[in-house]
Amino acid sequence: MSPGRTRPGRTSPGTSPGRRRDGERLTPGRLSPGDVARAGAAGLRARPARVVLSALGVAIGIATMIAVIGISSSSREQLLRRLDRLGTNLLTVTPGRTMFGEDAKLPLTALPMVRRIRPVRAAAATGAVEATVRRTNHIPEAVTGGIAVQAADTGLLATLEGAVARGTWLNAATERGPAVVLGAEAARRLGLARTGVQVWMGGRWFTVVGILGEMPLAPEIERSALVGFPAAAKLLGFDGHPTTIYERSSDATVEQVRAVLPRTVNPEGPEEVEVSRPSDALAAKAAAAGAFTGLLLGLGAVALLVGGVGVANTMVISVLERRREIGLRRSLGATRGQVRLQFLAESLLLSALGGVAGAVLGTLATAGYALARGWPLVVPPWAVGGAVVATLVVGTLAGLYPAVRAARLPPTVALAAP
């Protein structure tokens, strides 16, 4: 070799490292995104059992979070649809308390006065009766089963927009005699599924002429035995004062009617009248459907955190087991950044595998639960998007330390590892 020449790959004296004598800088090879993905996938394929177990922790966390959000959203959607179907234009009027703290009474003229309000489309009343209903007269009177006896106006069913499941509703003939219509829950508690049988009420037999269907806006009716106002006064000692008035008006006039009802019902003591809207309870229930969502999401986050720890543990062990591979790559020219990127890609792929599996499992769990309950299936897109973001964050955090540790291994030490 002639003087003044250097061997290929070497620098001559006075030449800075990383720069050839002719001035050209030596640059390491670059890995394309596809190369990084293939390198990361190759590391995972070499240990399939460990990959599956590590991804399972992430999948459980993601599935829990999506299922919690999906089931809560499906339940809320079911309640809102039910609320739209039932309407929000029903108001109830009940007696409050007097200024002396005693129970007030609605006037006998309360129902006719409510019907005189121009926007009111329908109104009906019920009145509490001091009596019990039992299957036979051999059952002790104290055993009421939580069933109330109420006098009912014949317009009650139309006002509540309810339906009769079996038999008929009270009419001009049956409201005057010993006939009773049972609410759905009252019939279940009495063990009755058909009409024409008799029950013991107020010391005499009453014939069951009808059984009502469910009434979500008036659950107190579901737990009641209903008789006509004339029969209640004549046979059960009812005093005639209504205890609840149900009123329907158009949606646009609900608040206007609500404002005038107390003074209309009891001009002398409007402060003794309470007005409420039953649909508000369903709306509040819909709003509260996600009350425990935060807690359950917290549990899902804990599961996701445990899954992230499992991923980090897997990656740390992978670095320890593959030190010779790391040393060989470094000696062949791989930079620290490329080694770090490879292990970070493995961690992201491992977390993504668990995230996809968790999203599928969470959606299937939501679909199964919603189908079993007859609910609409609602899985918010933001929940799936949040799951993807959470997966990427977990993968990055879990793989950051192992990737840095792998990149810091000196090639000579790594190659000498057993």
Host H or E run for residue 123? strand 120-128
CA nearest neighbour of 40 among 392, 410, 338: 338
414 — pLDDT class (breaks 50, 70, 90): low
**Per-residue pLDDT, 384:** 83
- The structure tokens 């079996």 sit at 166
Instruction: Give the span between the Cα atoms of 389 and 12, in whole angstroms.
Output: 51
DSSP letter string over 174-204? GGGTTEEEE-HHHHHHHT--SSS-EEEETTE
**Per-residue pLDDT, 313:** 74
When pLDDT is averaged across residues 234-241 and rounded to a whole number, the result is: 92
When pLDDT is averaged across residues 348-375 and rounded to a whole number, the result is: 88
For the chain, the straight-line distance linking the first and the last C-alpha, in angstroms and rounded, comes to 41
pLDDT higher than threshold 80 for residue 19: no
When pLDDT is averaged across residues 277-285 and rounded to a whole number, the result is: 66
**Per-residue pLDDT, 34:** 66
When pLDDT is averaged across residues 35-39 and rounded to a whole number, the result is: 66
**Per-residue pLDDT, 393:** 84
The mean predicted confidence, pLDDT, of the chain is 80
CA nearest neighbour of 215 among 147, 279, 284: 279
> What pLDDT, in 10s, does the model give residues 110-169?
999 999 998 999 999 999 999 999 998 888 877 878 899 999 999 999 998 889 999 999
pLDDT higher than threshold 70 for residue 24: no
In terms of C-beta density within 10 A (0-12 exposed, 13-18 middle, 19 or more buried), how is residue 269 classed? middle
> What pLDDT, in 10s, does the model give residues 180-215?
999 999 999 999 999 999 999 988 999 999 999 988
**Per-residue pLDDT, 57:** 78
86 — pLDDT class (breaks 50, 70, 90): low
345 — pLDDT class (breaks 50, 70, 90): confident
260 — pLDDT class (breaks 50, 70, 90): very high
CA nearest neighbour of 99 among 276, 275, 274, 269: 269
Lowest mean pLDDT among 51-55, 68-72, 410-414: 410-414
Contacts of 16 (CB under 8 A, 6+ apart): none
pLDDT higher than threshold 90 for residue 290: no
Lowest mean pLDDT among 22-31, 112-121, 188-197, 320-329: 22-31
**Per-residue pLDDT, 13:** 44
Which of the pair, 277 or 244, is modelled with greater confidence?
Answer: 244
pLDDT higher than threshold 90 for residue 333: no
pLDDT higher than threshold 70 for residue 1: no
When pLDDT is averaged across residues 231-251 and rounded to a whole number, the result is: 91
Q: Is 226 helix (H, G, I), strand (E, B) or coil?
A: strand
203-227: b or e for each residue (b if 16 or more CB lie within 10 Å)? eeebebbbbbeebbbbebbbbbbbb
Which of the pair, 321 or 166, is modelled with greater confidence?
Answer: 166
Q: Model's pTM, two decimal places?
A: 0.58
pLDDT higher than threshold 50 for residue 11: no
Q: Is 382 helix (H, G, I), strand (E, B) or coil?
A: helix
176 — pLDDT class (breaks 50, 70, 90): very high
**Per-residue pLDDT, 43:** 63
Contact 362, 62 (CB under 8 A): yes
234 — pLDDT class (breaks 50, 70, 90): very high
